[in-house]
Amino acid sequence: KENKTSIFFTLFLCYTCIKLILCFPNIQSSLQSLNLQGHFTFENNEFASIDFGNQFHYLPSAVLYPKNVSDIASTIRHVWNLGPASGLTVAARGHGHSFQGQAQAAQGIVVNMESLSGQQMLQVHMGEFPYVDVSGGELWINVLKECLKYGLAPKSWTDYLHLSVGGTLSNAGISGQAFRHGPQISNVRQLQVVTGKGEVVICSEENNADLFHGVLGGLGQFGIITRARISLEPAPKMVKWIRVLYSDFSTFAKDQEYLISSKNTFDYIEGLVMINKTNLVNYWRSSFNPEDPVQASQFVSDGKTLFCLELTKNFDPHHNIDKEIKSLLSQLSYIPSTLFVTEVSYVEFLDRVHAAELKLRSKGLWDLPHPWLNLLVPKSKIQTFAQNVFGDILTNTNHGPVLVYPLNKSKWDNRTSFVTPDEDIFYLVAFLQHAVPSTTENDGLQYLLNLNKRILEYCEEANLGVKQYLPYYTTKEEWRAHFGTRWEVFVQRKLAYDPLAILAPGQRIFQKAI
Ligand code: FAD
């Protein structure tokens, strides 16, 4: 059945492409006739068919470089006026860091959202409840740098900051602060959105609330976020960054759950699975200090499955927090010889993945295919999941980090489009793999895709109630199952805000009617 639907989708795509190619000269001249501050390009648009996943490549007919929100609204209104028969679609492209073509539009129009960013679009507002107004195309790293000038910072992050505000708000934006502040979509006060009819709408909890909630986690289906108002807090200056190891998953998970449920706790809580890593703690020593160097040097990681708890505590350099940290750590049951600590600035900590990116780029290892798989696993099923996936299906973690950490559902707003497992605590499990071009069948792209398939099949067979994060599905039935009881609301919102299914075709949820 899945194959049949895939074949249908491919045929549909071919038909649309042929139709659009035949219409292309008309589309080009009609777009050029629009009165815009920005401009279109019709050639050399290959970049818009590439993303971080590096597996799907669909070339658009045109790329819009908007100078303001009206450029986006006029373009979408134009496509809307062409009607369903044009087959033309529009995809916002933030930083293009999707994994399966979600920000692409085959023969359609890609809106290069970064053209909308820039200093004049970034405004910090001080006061009792400070916030920043930012362009949807702004990168989080720039938001951070601007806010720090006022001693402020957003509360909730992703592990990597070179992603756009609109791109992460269309998904969720999850990192180690989310247990306390919720994901990034829980920290937005207002949005400016261009709907699939080309209307510019300001929305918030108070005004146009249905659109506001729909767009958050809405996979770009209901509108293009052109502006967002993000809550801020006083920015920490420094960070104590701690790593400890466990050999037993249930002790590791128990400690994580204890930490995310305590009032007095760390500021960031994540975890990693490490299978058969050689010389792990020695590798850490290049940037972390072991509390007991002699004991640490005797710890052997080879051949083991280990679980690394990663924590931070923010601090002001004028105040010593070592005692407080010691007291927090004393509640945990990690392997004592594996306590490693370092001290870095807040920016250095938040921008840590970029440092890794620069290293990987210099070795030509950044632009590889990335068959990432992100799952949300209910707390009641995480032990079974760990036993089967980390103990059986996954035999090593050489292809990239595997993250595991719990989140509090109470920090998520169930009026948004985002769907979570139906339990108070659920785990994010992220398989962040890269495929090395290889001659052996054990680490190529197909191998990793098969591994992901096995993990998903296992979750399905064992009926674990798992949801995908940054979901990728090929059939409507799968999307319906993903949204569950929320599917009808999702469809109603689509009919209300993008009835011709013009927006974000790369998510493959709805197809533009012809
Ligand atoms: P794009 O890939 O450009 O777009 C993603 C989707 O959103 C597309 O459907 C697009 O059409 C739509 N879209 C883009 N901009 C807008 C807009 N302004 N309005 C409406 N729709 C829009 N995610 C986490 O939650 N936590 C992490 O820690 C994390 N770490 C990551 C690390 C790396 C190295 C990478 C590559 C990704 C990571 N992600 C993480 C995933 C990331 O949040 C998503 O892939 C996100 O979509 C990327 O943002 P982008 O700006 O590149 O979006």
Q: 241 CA to middle of ligand 1, Å? A: 26
pLDDT exceeds 90 at position 90: yes
- Mean pLDDT throughout 309-314? 98
pLDDT single digits (tens) 330-344: 999 999 999 999 999
Best substitution site from 164, 221, 370, 402 to test ligand 1's pocket, by max atoms within 8 Å of Cβ?
A: 164
Listed residue (110, 116, 90) closest to 49, CA to CA: 110
Listed residue (215, 238, 213, 235) closest to 225, CA to CA: 215
pLDDT exceeds 70 at position 387: yes
Q: Residues 78, 111: contact at Cβ < 8 Å?
A: no
Listed residue (380, 395, 496) closest to 443, CA to CA: 395
Q: 33 CA to middle of ligand 1, Å? A: 31
- Catalytic member of 51, 71, 95, 97: 97
Q: 157 CA to middle of ligand 1, Å? A: 12
pLDDT single digits (tens) 47-80: 999 999 999 999 999 999 999 999 999 999 999 9
∠ CA 342-344-345 to the nearest 5 degrees? 160
Q: What is the pLDDT of residue 514?
A: 45
pLDDT single digits (tens) 389-399: 999 999 989 89
- Intra-chain end-to-end CA distance of the chain, in Å: 23
pLDDT single digits (tens) 266-279: 999 999 999 988 88
Question: How many other C-beta atoms are found inside a 10 Å radius of the C-beta of residue 474?
Answer: 14
Q: How far is it, in rounded angstroms, from Cα 304 to Cα 460?
A: 28
Q: What is the pLDDT of residue 282?
A: 84
- Catalytic member of 133, 159, 199, 357: 159
Q: 305 CA to middle of ligand 1, Å? A: 31
Q: What is the pLDDT of residue 211?
A: 98
Residue whose CA lies nearest to ligand 1 atom number 40: 158
Residues with Cβ within 8 Å of 190's Cβ and at least 6 positions away in sequence, in order, are 202, 203, 204, 212, 228, 229
| 238-469 shares the fold of 2-113+492-507 | no
270 is catalytic: yes
Q: What is the pLDDT of residue 78?
A: 97
For the chain, give the number of residues: 514
What superfamily does domain 238-469 belong to in CATH? FAD-linked oxidases, C-terminal domain (3.40.462.10)
97 is catalytic: yes
pLDDT exceeds 70 at position 437: yes
Which numeric CATH code is attached to 2-113+492-507? 3.30.43.10
Best substitution site from 170, 310, 370, 434 to test ligand 1's pocket, by max atoms within 8 Å of Cβ?
A: 170
pLDDT exceeds 90 at position 129: yes
Pick among 3.30.420.40, 3.40.50.2000, 3.30.930.10, 3.30.465.10: CATH of 116-234: 3.30.465.10
User: Model confidence at 12, in pLDDT bands (50, 70, 90)?
Assistant: low
**Token pair 């013009």 in the structure block, residue:** 502
Residues with Cβ within 8 Å of 465's Cβ and at least 6 positions away in sequence, in order, are 378, 381, 421, 422, 423
pLDDT single digits (tens) 442-493: 668 999 999 999 999 999 999 999 999 999 999 999 999 999 999 999 999 9
- Catalytic member of 114, 138, 257, 270: 270
Q: 172 CA to middle of ligand 1, Å? A: 9
pTM: 0.94
Q: How far is it, in rounded angstroms, from Cα 399 to Cα 476?
A: 31
Q: Residues 375, 472: contact at Cβ < 8 Å?
A: no
Q: 451 CA to middle of ligand 1, Å? A: 23
Q: What is the pLDDT of residue 53?
A: 97
457 is catalytic: no
pLDDT exceeds 50 at position 422: yes
Sheet holding 268-275, edge to edge: 289-290, 340-345, 238-246, 305-315, 268-275, 402-408, 425-431, 373-378, 467-469
Q: Residues 20, 61: contact at Cβ < 8 Å?
A: yes
How big, in percent rounded to 5, are the helix, strand and coil portions of the chain?
40, 20, 40
The domain locations on the chain are 2-113+492-507, 116-234, 238-469
Backbone angles phi, psi at 228, to 5 degrees: -140, 140
Q: What is the pLDDT of residue 285?
A: 87
Q: How far is it, in rounded angstroms, from Cα 98 to Cα 272?
A: 22
What ligand 1 atom has the least distance to the C-alpha of 95? Answer: 52
ipTM of the complex in this document: 0.99
Mean pLDDT of the chain, nearest integer = 94
Listed residue (160, 80, 161, 131) closest to 500, CA to CA: 80
pLDDT single digits (tens) 25-54: 588 999 999 999 999 999 999 999 999 999
- Give the residue with greater pLDDT, 161 vs 17: 161
What ligand 1 atom has the least distance to the C-alpha of 226? Answer: 18
Q: Ligand 1: residues within 6 Å at CB?
A: 51-52, 91-98, 102-103, 113, 136, 158-160, 163-164, 166-168, 170-175, 219-220, 224-225, 353, 470, 504, 506-507
The 3-class SS string of 286-307 reads: CCCEECCHHHHHCCCCCCCEEE
What ligand 1 atom has the least distance to the C-alpha of 223? Answer: 20
